[in-house]
């Protein structure tokens, strides 16, 4: 699984926090509550939040992420090594977050980054004393959402609202479990401060090695959220779940101004399709619908650029290619995918007729991922004249060339081609 990165996108000194994380309990100010009076009850009755909070608060739960942590049993620390001790592995509570019961039979919605990398998951109620084993049923890592199944959990599901109907200034409140069990089911209130905020929440790498920014449309609110609130609920005044608190911005801008009160939530309408798929049994347990089930194994590729030459009696597409250096900074940083670079397209060849161009990077041949010419050659060796081959290529918006220095993400798209094979005179591919 990929790691969630904390992104500073307003200024270098501004921290954008994914708010489901390991918690550290700081100082605590203890306050004493007073008994209810008629005056207090009358005041509470006038608050628009009291009734909807009471309706949903018990459906907001803890989510515990346990991971297998490796360490040395004789570690000296301070950079001097592990002192010859043996490596040990034990399960530890790695992170906590929040979740909301969204369907009967114990289905809990949370953030993907809350459960990412877990060896074991638990859901806890109230102050965290009553716990249940939880199973990751499905997730969408690109949207940062996940659905858990908790057998034996009988809490009532909350009603799902319509996040598309939210308006600026509309009252909302958030419920979550920040920091520690002392602050379980903390409620904060505010308004909808902004809609359709396009926020870069992460960077993902596709199966060809190409990196791209993950941008999601968020709801901005001034209802306070903190570490541990991730995956909890943002509700409207009717007590309907309209968002999933996910990101808190805090820090100091370059001009010295303090940044506070800017918090982001994933719209519930974004999560509804995944919830529906899970409840209807359309997804296999543990599936990440953003990436699929099958992990693509790493394959060593040649760093040597070379022209591919094969006998003229072999059916060909009519291209010359070279391997992309897998150790180059462009590939290592995911600026371009690893693949086979087209250096020449013969005039009148099947490749030219199909639309292939110099600068295209071949990443798949007949639905097999290829990272070096030798892999493509093996597939083409099974073909006869008159056969065709299916190619997937990455085409940059600006034509790539062998001598171009790539120092940042290359914009482009993946294209599919079907290319015929013919006996050609020139000794190329």
CA distance 296 to 286: 17
Distance CA 182, CA 344 (A): 66
**Within this chain, do residues 386 and 253 fall inside the same structural domain, yes or no?**
no
| % of the chain with per-residue pLDDT over 70 | 75
Q: Say yes or no: 98 and 199 in one domain.
A: yes
Please report the pLDDT score of residue 292 as a whole number.
64
Res. 73: pLDDT tops 90: no
* Whether the predicted model's global pTM rises above the 0.75 cut: no
pLDDT higher than threshold 50 for residue 297: no
Q: pLDDT value at position 165?
A: 95
What confidence tier does 45 reach under pLDDT thresholds 50, 70, 90? low
**Stretch among 1-5, 99-103, 181-185, 221-225 having the lowest mean pLDDT:** 1-5
Query: Does residue 260 fall inside a structural domain?
Result: yes
Q: What is the mean pLDDT of residues 379-399?
A: 90
Residue with tokens 């040649």: 302
- Whether 294 shows a pLDDT value over 70: the answer reads no
Residue 424: the pLDDT is 80
pLDDT tens per residue, range 152-161:
999 999 999 9
Same domain, 279 and 365: no
Residue 326 has pLDDT above 90, yes or no: no
Residue 429, domain member (yes or no): no
Position 319 scores a pLDDT of: 92
Q: What CATH number did the domain enclosing 391 receive?
A: 2.30.42.10
Asked if residue 9 belongs to a domain, the reply is no
Mark whether 389 and 284 lie in a shared domain.
no
Mean pLDDT is lowest, of 7-21, 76-90, 257-271, 357-371, for 7-21
Q: Among the listed ranges 52-61, 68-77, 404-413, which one has the minimum average pLDDT value?
A: 68-77
Residue 50 structural domain: 14-24+38-288
For residues 94 and 175, membership in a common domain is answered with: yes
Q: Out of 57-66, 262-271, 306-315, 338-347, which region has the weakest mean confidence (pLDDT)? A: 306-315
Number of domains in the chain: 2
**Residue 79, in any domain of the structure:** yes
Which residue in 223, 261, 260 sits closest to 245, CA to CA?
Answer: 223
Range from 194-203, 316-325, 342-351 carrying the lowest mean pLDDT: 194-203
pLDDT for 335-383, tens place per residue? 888 889 998 999 999 999 999 999 999 999 999 999 888 889 889 888 8
Which active-site residues does the annotation give?
A: 113, 144, 230
Contacts of 423 (CB under 8 A, 6+ apart): 312, 313, 314, 315, 316, 385
| 352 in the same domain as 250 | no
407, 373, 353, 162: which is closest to 272 by C-alpha?
162
Residues 327 and 281 in one domain: no
* Residue among 244, 242, 231, 20 at smallest CA distance from 110: 231
Is residue 275 located within the same domain as residue 229? Answer: yes
Transcribe 36-94 into DSSP letters.
Answer: --HHHHHHHHH-SSHHHHHHHGGGEEEEEEEEEEEEETT---TTS--TTPPEEEEEEEE
Q: Looking at residue 253, what is its pLDDT?
A: 67
Residue 353's φ and ψ, nearest 5 degrees, are -65, -30
More confident residue, 337 or 37: 337
In-domain check, residue 272 = yes
Same domain, 67 and 121: yes
pLDDT at residue 13, rounded to an integer: 38
Contacts for 370-375 with beta carbons within 8 Å, 24 or more apart? Answer: 370/339, 370/340, 371/299, 371/301, 371/326, 371/338, 371/339, 371/340, 372/299, 372/301, 372/302, 372/323, 372/340, 373/302, 373/306, 373/308, 373/321, 373/322, 373/323, 373/340, 374/302, 375/299
Residue 125 has pLDDT above 80, yes or no: yes
d(CA 16, CA 199): 10
Is 2 inside any structural domain?
A: no
Question: Which of 342, 419, 338 minimizes the C-alpha distance to 380?
Answer: 419
Per-residue confidence (pLDDT) for residue 6, from 0 to 100 = 33
**425, part of any domain:** no
Identify the band that residue 202 occupies on the pLDDT scale cut at 50, 70 and 90. Answer: low
Average pLDDT over residues 294-318: 45
- Arithmetic mean of pLDDT over the chain: 79
pLDDT band at 255; cut points 50, 70, 90: confident
For residue 271, tell me if it sits in a domain: yes
Q: How confident is the model at residue 81 (pLDDT cuts 50, 70, 90)?
A: very low
Cα gap 270→349, rounded to integer Å = 46
Q: Tens digits of per-residue pLDDT, 50-72?
A: 999 999 999 999 999 999 887 65
The CA distance from 94 to 1, in Å, is 15
CATH code, domain carrying 156: 2.40.10.120
> Domain ends where: 240, 266, 288?
288
């Amino acid at each position: 699984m990929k790691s969630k990165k904390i992104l500073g996108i307003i200024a270098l000194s501004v921290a954008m926090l994914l708010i489901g994380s390991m918690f550290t309990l700081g100082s605590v100010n203890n306050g004493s509550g007073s008994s209810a009076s008629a005056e207090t009850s009358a005041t509470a009755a006038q608050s628009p939040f009291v009734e909807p909070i009471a309706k949903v608060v018990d459906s907001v739960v803890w989510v515990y992420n346990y991971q297998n942590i490796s360490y040395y049993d004789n570690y000296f620390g301070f950079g001097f090594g592990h002192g010859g001790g043996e490596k040990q592995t034990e399960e530890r509570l790695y992170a906590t977050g929040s979740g909301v019961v969204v369907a009967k039979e114990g289905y809990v919605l949370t953030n993907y980054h809350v459960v990412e990398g877990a060896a074991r998951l638990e859901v806890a109620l109230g102050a965290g004393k009553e716990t249940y084993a939880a199973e990751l049923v499905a997730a969408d890592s690109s949207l940062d959402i996940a659905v858990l199944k908790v057998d034996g959990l009988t809490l009532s599901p909350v009603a799902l609202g319509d996040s598309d109907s939210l308006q600026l200034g509309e009252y909302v409140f958030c419920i979550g479990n920040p920091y520690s069990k002392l602050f379980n089911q903390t409620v904060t209130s505010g308004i909808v401060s902004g809609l359709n905020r396009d926020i870069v929440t992460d960077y993902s790498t596709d199966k060809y090695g190409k990196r791209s920014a993950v941008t999601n449309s968020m709801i901005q609110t001034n209802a306070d959220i903190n570490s541990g609130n991730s995956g909890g609920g943002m509700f409207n005044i009717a007590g309907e779940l309209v968002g999933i608190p996910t990101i808190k911005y805090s820090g100091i801008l370059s001009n010295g101004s303090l940044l506070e009160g800017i918090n982001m939530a994933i719209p519930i309408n974004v999560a509804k399709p995944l919830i529906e798929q899970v409840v209807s049994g359309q997804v296999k347990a543990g599936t990440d619908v953003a990436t699929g089930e099958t992990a693509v194994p790493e394959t060593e590729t040649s760093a040597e650029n070379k022209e591919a030459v094969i006998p003229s009696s072999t059916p060909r597409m009519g291209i010359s290619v070279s391997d992309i250096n897998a150790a180059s900074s462009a590939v290592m940083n995911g600026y371009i995918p690893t693949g086979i670079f087209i250096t020449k397209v013969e005039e009148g060849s099947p490749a030219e007729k199909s639309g292939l161009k110099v600068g295209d990077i071949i990443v798949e041949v007949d639905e097999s991922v290829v990272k070096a010419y030798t892999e493509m050659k093996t597939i083409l060796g099974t073909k006869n004249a008159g056969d065709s081959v299916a190619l997937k290529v990455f085409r940059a918006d600006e034509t790539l060339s062998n001598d171009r220095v790539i120092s940042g993400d290359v914009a482009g798209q993946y294209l599919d081609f079907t290319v015929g094979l013919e006996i050609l005179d020139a000794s190329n591919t």
